[in-house]
Amino acid sequence: MAENRGASVKYDSVQKSYDGETLVVKKLNLDIPPGEFLTMLGPSGSGKTTCLMMLAGFEPATYGEIYLNEKPINNVPPHKRGIGMVFQNYALFPHMSVAENLAFPLQLRKMGKAEQEEKVKRALDMVQLGNFGNRRPAQLSGGQQQRVAVARALVFDPELVLMDEPLGALDKQLREQMQYEIKHIHERLGVTVVYVTHDQTEALTMSDRVAVFNDGVVQQLSEPSMLYEDPKNSFVAQFIGENNKLSGTVTEIRGSECSVKLDDGTIIIADKVNVDNVGDRTTISLRPERVEIVPTDDHANTITGTIEELIYLGDHIRVRMNVCGNDEFVVKVRNRGERWDLHEGKQQTIGFAAGDCKALDPVA
């Protein structure tokens, strides 16, 4: 990992309204340390892109202050913030060569020609396009154009790079390849990156931390593994990864665990995350890969359901079941070559640990 040479960012009670009535960002307080790769993740309309545009200077904050390296920047115009930007549509100049596209931000900064050439060459080498300087954007593939866009954002050595859905236009395989490339570039350079996406796999792959947005509010800010393993509410559990949900009522609380009576009468033991009292309604969150299709005796919970569908996916078998009235309950069975007697319509007992099912706020 390179030494952090990135900028610090701070959102201090930042709010945004476009019509003077509805807040699309609600009192955002967020600190991003130098060199961090932070992803703003959420569905369309959750406020994540608006937060990025306010940091870039393309949208004014309605209330609150944004700081860059501890200096307020609300009144600093975009071109004086020294921020690199990468957009989904690349925003390359079609009439310029690749090298000219990269030189453009250096010319704006009145850099000498020799220094321009050196920085352009270094940036192109960084994205493995050293021999493509004389080509026009139209002569490049989508992935190559996106590499040029990344190189242009980095060519003037900014401390902060903003990326708005930069891989959204690429096909799945190329998108995954570019995720690793951007991650490795960040690790080498140590710049601060603020990245916006609605793709949770992308966020988990690339980020140091992820801020999950919904309805203008950060629902959880955590390392990727914590978001997946320890969601703090039902929205995060549903949005990050695949998730089974079962509804019920808390009947007993014992330290960090609770007993929940599901709506069909089944009693299960769960990890008490954000339920407080006996009688509270709750939604149980349970990851498909944490369910054992052939349970052992040490599982806190064993339930019998009906197999509805089997899908062979190579590395695992996706088993959809009707469990406790939920006919979309999924179990991922790792393909170890065992030959279990699984077929549609079979009554099958499954098992899972108390710590793997999280008692969360009820889904509305």
CATH code of the domain in which 248 resides: 2.40.50.140
Look at residue 2 and tell me if it is in a domain.
no
Q: Do 70 and 192 fall into the same domain?
A: yes
Given the DSSP bridges, would you call strands 71-72 and 63-68 parallel, antiparallel or unpaired? antiparallel
Q: How far apart are CA 8 and CA 277, in angstroms?
A: 41
The residue with greater pLDDT, 140 or 295, is 140
Mean of the pLDDT values across residues 265-292? 94
Q: What is the pLDDT of residue 2?
A: 53
Same domain, 85 and 110: yes
Residues 127 and 94 in one domain: yes
pLDDT at residue number 364: 56
Sequence letter at residue 363: V
Regarding whether 209 and 352 lie in a shared domain, the answer is: no
Number of domains in the chain: 2
Domain end, chosen from 196, 216, 234, is at 234
144 belongs to a structural domain: yes
For residue 317, being part of any structural domain is answered with yes
Structure tokens at 354: 């108390």
Residue 288 and residue 257 share a domain: yes
Please say if the pLDDT value at position 1 is more than 50.
Answer: no
Per-residue pLDDT band at 348 (split at 50, 70, 90): very high
Both 208 and 255 in a single domain?
no
End residue of a domain, out of 189, 207, 234 = 234
Confidence tier at 73 by pLDDT (50, 70, 90): very high
Alpha carbon distances (Å) from 340 to 57, 301, 334, 336: 58, 21, 12, 11
Task: Tell me the whole-structure pTM to 2 decimals.
Answer: 0.88
Last residue of a domain, one of 234, 258, 273: 234
Neighbours of 259 (CB within 10 A): 19
- The reply to whether 77 and 204 lie within a common domain is yes
DSSP-derived secondary structure letter, 187: H
Residue 319 domain boundaries? 244-360
| 4 falls within a domain | no
